[in-house]
Amino acid sequence: MNISGLVITFNEEANIKDCIISLNSVCDEVIIIDSFSSDKTVEIAESMGAKVYLQKFLGDGPQRVHGLQFCKHDWILNLDADERLDKDSFEFIKSGKYLNEPYDAYNFRRKNFLKDQPIDFAGWYPSYTCRFFNKQTAKPATTKVHQSIQATNLKTTKLHLLHYGWKDFHQIIGKYNLYTTWQSEEYFEQNKKVNFFTPIGHGLWSFLRCYILKKGIFHGLDGITFSMMQAFFSYMKYAKLRKLYENNKKGKI
């Protein structure tokens, strides 16, 4: 089995050990692209046999693309540091069944956790993400946030990844504040249109979608909380974009 594990990191000392253990269960090499962490991420990774390369952060997609040159195998398992293979995805990759299928990339269902609590409502599950692909015909898109894979023949599976992304609400809000900034900057570069009502409309629709259509309504206060967070993030993405256009007109950009 010839699979390269690839992870991009920045200050992930709390997560990187378990991530590498998960990768080592199916990969015969692990490549870390680290953005000059100030904690023990690099030390821990190297102590576990991973090869670490330092690179100033280029954006989510470009950072992953940069890492491909160091991977000696065609098949890439590109987990985030806070992700692990679930039992079904481990068994699928370990079996080598993908070698007999026509697909060059696989979408997994991601199980999100707030500390030890699964978030399987209000649009937070299934959260599809592509982490396994053949670099000869598929590669990460060069977007700054919400990484995706550009593939010739992608398959969406019912296999799972475990995502231990947040310890508390403060961490969720902090991460998504950064993501919405990156997303708004990307939209600005693409000249994506926005008006006064755009943030309001996206925020309102996001709440209704998560709370009603995605059944957050059946999960009490948690259902309201996670639906409101999704709505706020959607609102802020476009509010920040509008602010970028306003600042550009004033010559502040």
Read off the tokens for 15.
């997560």
| Residue pLDDT, tens place only, 110-166 | 999 999 899 999 999 988 999 999 999 999 998 877 778 999 999 999 999 999 989
What is the predicted pLDDT for the residue at 96?
Answer: 95
pLDDT of residue 143: 84
Task: Please give the pLDDT value at position 251.
Answer: 78
Residue range 77-83: mean pLDDT, rounded: 98
Q: For the chain, what percent of residues have pLDDT higher than 90?
A: 89
The b/e string for 212-246 (b: 16+ C-beta within 10 A; e otherwise) is eebebeebeeebbebbbbbbbbbbbbbbbbbebbe
Cα–Cα distance for residue pair 177/142, rounded to 1 Å? 20
Encode pLDDT of 8-19 as tens digits.
999 999 999 999
- β-pairing verdict for 127-134 and 75-77: antiparallel
Give the whole-angstrom CA distance, residue 99 versus residue 2.
Answer: 11
- Under the banding of pLDDT at 50, 70 and 90, the label for residue 253 is low
Q: pLDDT tens across 237-249, in order? A: 999 999 999 998 8
pTM exceeding 0.85: yes
Average pLDDT, the chain: 95
Structural tokens at position 101: 């299928």
Q: What is the mean pLDDT of residues 46-51?
A: 98
Contact 104, 75 (CB under 8 A): no
pLDDT of residue 147: 76
Q: Could you tell me where the DSSP H helices lie in 37-155? A: 41-47, 60-68, 87-95
Helices then strands, each counted (H, E), the chain: 7, 11
